Amino acid sequence: GEDVEQSLFLSVREGDSSVINCTYTDSSSTYLYWYKQEPGAGLQLLTYIFSNMDMKQDQRLTVLLNKKDKHLSLRIADTQTGDSAIYFCAEITGTASKLTFGTGTRLQVTL
Amino acid sequence: ETGVTQTPRHLVMGMTNKKSLKCEQHLGHNAMYWYKQSAKKPLELMFVYNFKEQTENNSVPSRFSPECPNSSHLFLHLHTLQPEDSALYLCASSQEGLNSGANVLTFGAGSRLTVL
């Protein structure tokens, strides 16, 4: 079956790096995504990575993909209070052609 | 505004009521989705419409009834709901269905539903 797992909560100090982890089960995943949900809002796409890549960098965001272990991570450098939100990992598979989300990881940034 | 508008933002209803959630997108997208977001659970896909045709019903109980009159509008009709149906209901749209490459979903802000 398709399952995407994330830890529920992460707390970091402002200025530190945050690393949010995700594991997925479907090895045929073609694209993997990170979405961000701020309070009272819907989900917004942060970034995505194609399954033939192992890293993607976009300003403060770095996505690492380990296909062998089915592990995806999102690193946020120099974390700011505005980064406080829920971060969702999601995968899309060619066969299922639907997007499967994890539970979301709530990132709390402290001063 | 994200381009996907959901109304109402908050809804409280009794178990015998009938109500509807509305979603509207002006992005020119052809696929629309309903997701259910409950605390500490993965986001659950409920329904998918592609070019107004329902292409996915993820074993959703019949007390939830979707309607897609055109590519820009999506409704979720609710009747005889249970308290465990209380959740945030998110609408999303995408250019095409999800078997078209790195298709990105644009989400609305959600409708917070409370069933008493």
Size (chain A), residues = 111
Size of interface A-B (CB pairs under 8 A): 60
pLDDT, one tens digit per residue, over B66-96 is 999 998 999 999 999 999 999 999 999 998 7
Least CB–CB distance from B98: residue in A8, A42, A99: A99
Q: Are strands A55-58 and B73-79 parallel, antiparallel or unpaired?
A: unpaired
Least CB–CB distance from B102: residue in A8, A42, A50: A50
CA atoms of A45 and B17, how far apart (whole Å)? 35
Nearest to A100 by CA among A33, A41, A20, A9: A33
Q: Which residues of B touch A (CB under 8 A)?
A: 2, 4, 6, 35, 40-43, 45, 48, 56, 90, 92, 97-99, 101-110
Per-residue pLDDT, B55: 84
Mutate: best of B105, B106, B112, partner A, most A CBs <10 A = B105
Q: How far, in Å, are A69, A99, B21, B54 from residue B69 at the CA level? A: 43, 23, 14, 11
B6 contacts on A by Cβ (under 8 Å): 42
The SS3 of residue B114 is strand
pLDDT at B116 over 60: yes
Tokens of B17: 């009521």
* Contact criterion met (CB < 8 Å) for A99 and B90: no
pLDDT, one tens digit per residue, over A17-27 is 999 999 998 87
pLDDT confidence bin for A34, thresholds 50/70/90: very high
CA nearest A98 in B: which residue?
B98
pLDDT, one tens digit per residue, over B22-40 is 999 999 999 999 999 998 8
pLDDT at B100 over 70: no
- Spell out the SS3 assignment of chain A: CCCEEECCEEEEECCCCEEEEEEECCCCEEEEEEEEECCCCCEEEEEEEECCCCEEEECCEEEEEECCCCEEEEEECCCCHHHCEEEEEEEEECCCCCEEECCCEEEEEEC
